Structure 1
Amino acid sequence: MPSRTKSCALCRKKRMRCDATVPECLMCVRFGRQCPGLTDGPLIVDMTKTARYGMQKRKARIPSTGIRAAAAARSIPNHTSVHRISQRGMMTEAFYERFLTYFTSKGEGKDIQNRLTWLHRLPLLSTDGTNDALVLALEATASAYCATDNISPALTRYAWDLYGKALQAHSRFVAQSRSREEVTIHMVSTSVLFSFFEAMQDTSANAYRSHIYGAAKMLEVTGPGQCTQGVLCQIFYHLRTQLAFVNLTGWGNERPVEVRRILHETLEYTRLPMFQRLMTHVTKLAEMLVMCENVDESGTILQSVDLASYLLVKTEVESLWNEYSSAAASSSEELSWCDSLSGTTQYRDSFTALTVAYFESARILLANIPLQFTTSFLDPDDHYTVIMEASQYLQTYDIGFAYMRMATPLLLVALYAPREKQREEAIRCFESWESRSLRGISALALGKINQRKAMNYSQEKKRISQSDLMAIMKT
């Protein structure tokens, strides 16, 4: 008898179709189960006798065609409703498989220290019956994704209707939590899903920022018991990358997020992840840069950067990089290398590519913060090229969240790269998102880029006018 297709023990027990993915099959991931992995060797099951006996009993019980048709008519009173349920399931399935699957980058768990991913928990959270807003938010976001993917106006209207209902339900849960002083992982997950909806649909420029900040502010008052096996650790890591991006676009919030409180109280970190330490510096540098963009009519910076703070961050960034690269070297691992066949840059894993891109982002920020003295801290290394190489690598392997988290590095390339070719390449990345599933983020980035172009044009025009005036005065 031929061997059966490989499957994990849970799928085999529940008689579910298993895709035999290592180390965890997709069915276990979707239903939030701990996958035991595949069994070694072929599994041979002889069901000849049992199957023969079962077929004989089944033949004796098979009703006539008329009876079967009547039973089917009674069990399915409305064909449309069955189709609608099936369509909803298909949309959620597509959203999980083609978008949410990429929420976890390969290699991130070792640094973030989470034992369970959000993708594992979300199916259980959305079906435990404790938060209707989360269910509606998931359906709305899944519908929005499919509407964008299939360019369906009808499905878009359906998604927006669900989104409105989810917002109303979420506001009720938030109001109840204020009286009970209890914020759950369901509420945080709902806000994160809302941000995904806005990242795809772009209802307003402020909406995406509001949901990102809302989820982060909720984490400030979330108890440590809600961080089930590090799921909230993964969510906050994602939120910090988006907070930095929102700040750089000029849509930052006047109320800063209490990061230290979240890391040490909500998430109970005893050893901070490398990426979280790096993001602290990136956030600080982004705040410095945004502060320096506040100028008067003459172009004078209204508030200058403190030199001591600047030098401290610069030293700590390089110290952190030395620690990061030394840890890889001690494990006999390369962070990146050039593939001899394709000529492209390869990385240890997706999370390494993202981390390297953020180190380069910190260096770009350091090089572009204006200081009130003549000493230059410009680095001769081409950090912009490194970011574009990391972007190409992630674009090859991941299509969803990994690219969403690249928004900050790509925006810095589009704004500050010295070569026009580099700027245009980064801008094309954002333009390609307009017709895909990250339209909201693209709108924020392109809005900032166009604002920067207009400001540069105005300054250049003023400079030319002043030079012409000086020439006239000399004559």
Structure 2
Amino acid sequence: MPHCLMCTRYNRKCPGPIDAPLLFVDTSSYPSGKKPRAKKPSPPATSFDVARRFEDGRGIHGSGNLSEEMAMVWSVDISPRHVWGDAFFQNLVAFFCAEGRHVLGAVRRTPSWLHALPRMAATPPPSAARNSSVVRANEALGLALRATSAAFSSLETRSTSLLHHAYGLYGDSLRSQGRVLQERGDKGENLYMVMTSIMLSMFESVVATTGEGFASHNIACAKMIDKALEQASTGPAKGRGNNPGAGGPSPMIVNVFFHVRIQLCFVYLTTSDDRIRNDPIMDRVLLEACGWEKRRLPLNMQIITPFARLMKLQSHADYEQLAMPPTEFEHEKADFVKAKEEVDELCADICDSCPRSCYNIAYPPFSTFPKIKLNVFGFFSCQQYCTSARDGQFHHARYVSDLSRAKFVVAALL
């Protein structure tokens, strides 16, 4: 009998021909001597669990038979991280760092610094093996990159589950960044933390309903950039003449600094929160350029300084009554004069370096705007705003009419 052979094989005492089971089950491998219960079927996975499985790279295996035309095709699981990476570079990078604005003579900005982020997130620094906080900084950057890519892709595909998954990645990135900054303090504000703040600010601009999160991340990034430039100017590779941009910081830090200056201009124009506008980092980055020598800044960065000075004065204007008390002009007189001097100097430089066919001395009408270089348009528009400070005399009506065009000019220039 089959059970007799099994008893002989396992050296068991024969239970007899009546009580013996037809199929022998060896229970010696179970600690309790009893066979464990079968697992209950798990509940169906939700859309959030499906997104988690995709994020972990495990994929989802299909069930059922293949159709006849697909019978010879191999089934391959592909991690969606690569798909999100492609979506990031094809859509997100082009969205935030447009190559000009399809306008003849527009200022072009290269998004090359953004293409280094996936490599930074995938390759930890050499010191990661000795320091756990460095690993968390690398993890925070990777989470921020994936969160922003997933958020942008969810809006394109109208996928609610993917958007919720992006929110989860955003929270994980914030927690990782907070732990690193809490453990290391100022030493933790390295390039990885700066890039993480930039990606989180992009996430806020994609899916947020208010601009507070976008402004907060940009301000935090600006503070880190200010410290990085200060360390570069005082370190062993400091720049010439106490200039942080001469030879100290890396090209990545320099490009991020330019990006943050432009973003802070939009923050200042769009926010009405006095706490954000009065933050000391605003004046430090926009007006002082973090100690950068003005002559060494690119032309599109030089125009930000007088624009920022005018935007600061513009924020004090009363848009409801379109009037300002004459007493308030007195303490702003010095700022107007200084802005006018800066614009006059920039106008002199642009007139000396460009042929006369590239600019127009008169204020250009909006119908001819696409035919004129944006930089020159910004210079002479800014000079037009400063005419109310000519000869130290303020003309209130001209000042109010000029302020009404400020937002359009700054948005077109940047």
Asked if Structure 1 and Structure 2 have the same fold, meaning a TM-score greater than 0.5 normalized by the shorter chain, the answer is yes
Closer/same/farther in 2, CA of residues 238 and 166 from structure 1, 3 Å limit: same
* 1:195 and 2:201 aligned: yes
Residues in 1 aligned to 2:175 and 2:387: alpha-carbon distance in whole angstroms: 45
Q: How does 1:34-183 map onto structure 2 within 5 Å?
A: 79-80=60-61, 86-101=79-94, 103=97, 105=99, 117-129=112-124, 130=135, 131-178=138-185, 181-183=187-189
Task: State the SS of the aligned residue for 1:141.
Answer: helix
Task: State the SS of the aligned residue for 2:278.
Answer: coil
Structure 2 gap ranges (5+) = 1-56, 63-74, 102-106, 125-134, 238-243, 361-367
TM-score, with length taken from structure 2: 0.58
Q: Find 1:306's aligned residue among 300, 314, 332.
A: 332
Instruction: Give the structure 1 partner of residue 127 of structure 2.
Output: none
Q: Structure 1: which amino acid aligns with 2:279?
A: R
CA apart distance, 1:314? 1.7
CA apart distance, 1:93? 1.0
Aligned residues: 296
Q: Find 2:382's aligned residue among 362, 368, 371.
A: 362
CA apart distance, 1:375? 6.3
CA apart distance, 1:99? 2.1
Q: Find 1:245's aligned residue among 250, 266, 269.
A: 266
CA apart distance, 1:151? 1.9
Residues in 2 aligned to 1:376 and 1:176: alpha-carbon distance in whole angstroms: 55
* 1:271 and 2:296 aligned: yes
Closer/same/farther in 2, CA of residues 146 and 368 from structure 1, 3 Å limit: farther
Instruction: Give the structure 1 partner of residue 305 of structure 2.
Output: 280
Residues in 2 aligned to 1:197 and 1:302: alpha-carbon distance in whole angstroms: 43
CA apart distance, 1:195? 0.8
Q: Structure 2: which amino acid aligns with 1:124?
A: R
Residues in 1 aligned to 2:381 and 2:302: alpha-carbon distance in whole angstroms: 14
* 1:255 and 2:279 aligned: yes
Closer/same/farther in 2, CA of residues 209 and 303 from structure 1, 3 Å limit: farther
8 Å Cα contact 1:191-1:211 kept in structure 2: yes
Task: State the SS of the aligned residue for 2:303.
Answer: helix
Q: Structure 1: which amino acid aligns with 2:139?
A: D
CA apart distance, 1:162? 0.8
Deviations 1:139-192 (A, max 9, x none): 0000111112222212111111111111111111222331x6342111111111
Q: How does 1:11-26 map onto structure 2 within 5 Å?
A: none
CA apart distance, 1:199? 0.7
CA apart distance, 1:372? 8.8
Residues in 1 aligned to 2:269 and 2:403: alpha-carbon distance in whole angstroms: 21
Closer/same/farther in 2, CA of residues 91 and 302 from structure 1, 3 Å limit: farther
8 Å Cα contact 2:198-2:217 kept in structure 1: yes
CA apart distance, 1:368? 9.1
Task: State the SS of the aligned residue for 1:291.
Answer: coil
8 Å Cα contact 2:309-2:335 kept in structure 1: no
Residues in 1 aligned to 2:408 and 2:202: alpha-carbon distance in whole angstroms: 24
Q: Structure 1: which amino acid aligns with 2:257?
A: F
Q: Find 1:212's aligned residue among 198, 208, 218.
A: 218
Deviations 1:311-362 (A, max 9, x none): 2212321321331243233xx98479xxxxxx98356xxxx64x35644663
8 Å Cα contact 1:117-1:231 kept in structure 2: no
Q: Find 2:252's aligned residue among 231, 238, 253.
A: 231
Closer/same/farther in 2, CA of residues 290 and 378 from structure 1, 3 Å limit: closer
8 Å Cα contact 2:147-2:166 kept in structure 1: yes
8 Å Cα contact 2:139-2:176 kept in structure 1: yes
CA apart distance, 1:86? 2.7
Task: State the SS of the aligned residue for 2:354.
Answer: helix
Residues in 1 aligned to 2:58 and 2:220: alpha-carbon distance in whole angstroms: 43
Closer/same/farther in 2, CA of residues 293 and 256 from structure 1, 3 Å limit: farther
8 Å Cα contact 1:282-1:361 kept in structure 2: no
CA apart distance, 1:376? 5.7
Deviations 1:8-65 (A, max 9, x none): xxxxxxxxxxxxxxxxxxxxxxxxxxxxxxxxxxxxxxxxxxxxxxxxxxxxxxxxxx
Closer/same/farther in 2, CA of residues 376 and 292 from structure 1, 3 Å limit: closer
Residues in 1 aligned to 2:261 and 2:381: alpha-carbon distance in whole angstroms: 14
CA apart distance, 1:132? 0.5
Q: Structure 1: which amino acid aligns with 2:172?
A: K
CA apart distance, 1:237? 1.5
Higher relative contact order (CA 8 A, sep 6+): 1
8 Å Cα contact 2:144-2:196 kept in structure 1: yes
CA apart distance, 1:217? 0.8
Residues in 2 aligned to 1:309 and 1:158: alpha-carbon distance in whole angstroms: 48
Q: Structure 1: which amino acid aligns with 2:335?
A: S
Q: Structure 2: which amino acid aligns with 1:255?
A: D
Closer/same/farther in 2, CA of residues 158 and 366 from structure 1, 3 Å limit: farther
8 Å Cα contact 2:146-2:169 kept in structure 1: yes
Deviations 1:386-432 (A, max 9, x none): 968xxxxxxxxxxxxxxxxx74769xxxxxxxxxxxxxxxxxxxxxx
Residues in 2 aligned to 1:373 and 1:382: alpha-carbon distance in whole angstroms: 14
TM-score, with length taken from structure 1: 0.51
Q: Find 1:345's aligned residue among 364, 370, 376.
A: 370
Q: Structure 2: which amino acid aligns with 1:126?
A: A
Instruction: Give the structure 2 partner of residue 461 of structure 1.
Output: none
Instruction: Give the structure 2 partner of residue 392 of structure 1.
Output: none
- Could you say which structure has the larger radius of gyration? 2
Closer/same/farther in 2, CA of residues 375 and 87 from structure 1, 3 Å limit: closer
Residues in 1 aligned to 2:351 and 2:407: alpha-carbon distance in whole angstroms: 15
Residues in 2 aligned to 1:376 and 1:294: alpha-carbon distance in whole angstroms: 13
Closer/same/farther in 2, CA of residues 78 and 185 from structure 1, 3 Å limit: closer
